[in-house]
Structure 1
Amino acid sequence: MADKVVPIKEQKLMDVKLGQLPSWLAARDYSAQGIFLGFKAGYDRFFNKYINVKNAGIGGFAMLMTGYVILSYTWSYSHLKTERIRKYH
């Protein structure tokens, strides 16, 4: 039984071959609404996989908090960089 032929626009990134990558990228929606819907779909996928399960553990919450800590450190790095060269004595 042969696999079903899926249009390039509906394929996931992991299913796209290297030669098909430019046409897959061209088929994406880069409008503000398309980007918003892409982030929303990613959030929904993360939430349903790690948070919204019967026997939830700490894994999903820990990944979310780790991402928040790394993001906040990145945003405040320029301020922290100037603080570390000061001498407190």
Structure 2
Amino acid sequence: MADRPVPVKDLRLLDVKLGQLPTWLASGDYSPGGIYRAYKRGTGRFYTKYFDVKKGGIGGLAMILTGYVVISYIWSYDHISK
């Protein structure tokens, strides 16, 4: 069976061809409510991808610890370099 065609406004940005880009941009909801909904949708996806993971491991803890070490080094660089 052939896939049914999807309207341009329902495509993701990566799936839009260059010739369809002006149509895709014009079909967006640029009202304050639309911008707010897009912002909430983006933060929800970000939270789901990076914070609401199903399998946790040592990687997240290692990143936090590495960040703490780097920031501590930057803060005390003047004292260490003398």
Does the alignment reach a TM-score above 0.5? yes
Gaps of 5+ in 2: 65-82
SS for the counterpart of 1:58 is helix
Identity in percent: 52
Aligned to 1:69: none
Unaligned runs of 5+ in 1: 63-89
Q: Residue in 2 aligned with 1:42?
A: 42
Q: Quick check: 1:58 aligned with 2:52?
A: no
Q: Tell me the TM-score normalized by structure 1.
A: 0.60
Greater Cα radius of gyration, structure 1 or 2: 2
When the two chains are superposed, the root-mean-square deviation of aligned CA atoms in Å is 2.4
Q: Distance in 2 between matches of 1:4 and 1:51?
A: 35
Query: Per chain length, whose mean CA-contact separation is higher, i.e. which structure has more relative contact order (CA < 8 Å, sep 6+)?
Result: 2
Question: Partners of 1:58 and 1:14 in 2: how far apart?
Answer: 29
CA distance in 1, matches of 2:42, 2:13: 13
